[in-house]
Homo-oligomer: A and B are copies of this chain.
Amino acid sequence: MQEQSDDDKEKPLAKRALTTQKRRKEIVEAAAACFITQGFHQTSIRDIAKRAGISLGNLYNHFSSKTDLIAEIAVLESDDQTVVNDILSEDGKVQDILARFIAVHFDELSKPENAVLAAEITSEAMRNPQIAEPFLENRAQLVARLASVLISPDLNYPEDTTEMAELILTLVQSTAARAAFQPGRKQKATLGALQSSVCRLVGLSD
């Protein structure tokens, strides 16, 4: 994997920058793991450094403060919603799109790690504007997409679609969080109830 071309000046991503990028990612993943098991404010910088396998001082070469790290995690977690956002943008019958959206979003958020991290972020966002901003921005985007799906077909739906989209999103996310600590078998039943509930809300047959 040796490359020595003449115009390498435009690609200064040498060994140095590459490992730096990798190291940064390792730190973020270690931090996320710590935050999930211990929570934001019960996790120390030393915990994260130890888990990432680096020294205490070196962590500060990649992140200037603990707050910055928390913010980064919050942003990355919110960005994971890109997948479900894409589903809502696909073509197809409304009931199919909704069903897929609910199933995928539910599956993701009912994983205990994600549920715990989401709860931590939610709690933190209520107090820390730096966390609330990306959190609310991503949510607004998701609501807008979902609302557009609710308009598109000819479901007789004269009401405020944005309000309904907010309500449905809230329902899906919080139901998934609740299901995260149920046994796997009951989870399927909860997902089923959720699916038919949303259908009922938007005026579709189950």
Q: Which residue of B lies closest to A159 (CB)?
A: B193
With contacts A41-B41, A41-B42, A200-B201 taken as known, whether A193 is within 8 angstroms of B163 at the C-beta atoms is yes
**Does A166 belong to the interface (CB within 8 Å)?**
yes
Within 8 Å CB of A197, what residues of B? 164, 167, 201
Q: Which of A7-15, A76-84, A115-123 participates in binding chain B?
A: A115-123
**Does A148 belong to the interface (CB within 8 Å)?**
no
The distance in angstroms between the C-alpha atoms of A200 and B198, with both chains bound, is 10
The distance in angstroms between the C-alpha atoms of A124 and B116, with both chains bound, is 9
Within 8 Å CB of A124, what residues of B? 39
Contact A193 B167 (CB under 8 A): yes
**Chain A residues numbered 121-179 whose CB sits less than 8 Å from any CB in chain B:** 122-124, 126-127, 159-160, 163-164, 166-167, 170-171, 173-175, 178
Contact A167 B189 (CB under 8 A): no
With contacts A41-B41, A119-B126, A126-B116 taken as known, whether A178 is within 8 angstroms of B193 at the C-beta atoms is no
Contact A178 B201 (CB under 8 A): no
Within 8 Å CB of A181, what residues of B? 126
Within 8 Å CB of A126, what residues of B? 115-116, 119, 181
The distance in angstroms between the C-alpha atoms of A81 and B90, with both chains bound, is 42
A94 CB → nearest B CB, Å: 17
A147 CB → nearest B CB, Å: 13
A82 CB → nearest B CB, Å: 22
**Does A95 belong to the interface (CB within 8 Å)?**
no
Q: Kindly list 15 other residue pairs between chains A and B, CB separation below 8 angstroms, not including A39-B124, A163-B193.
A: A37-B127, A40-B41, A41-B41, A41-B42, A116-B126, A126-B181, A160-B189, A163-B190, A164-B193, A166-B178, A167-B171, A170-B174, A170-B178, A171-B175, A173-B174
Within 8 Å CB of A171, what residues of B? 167, 170-171, 174-175
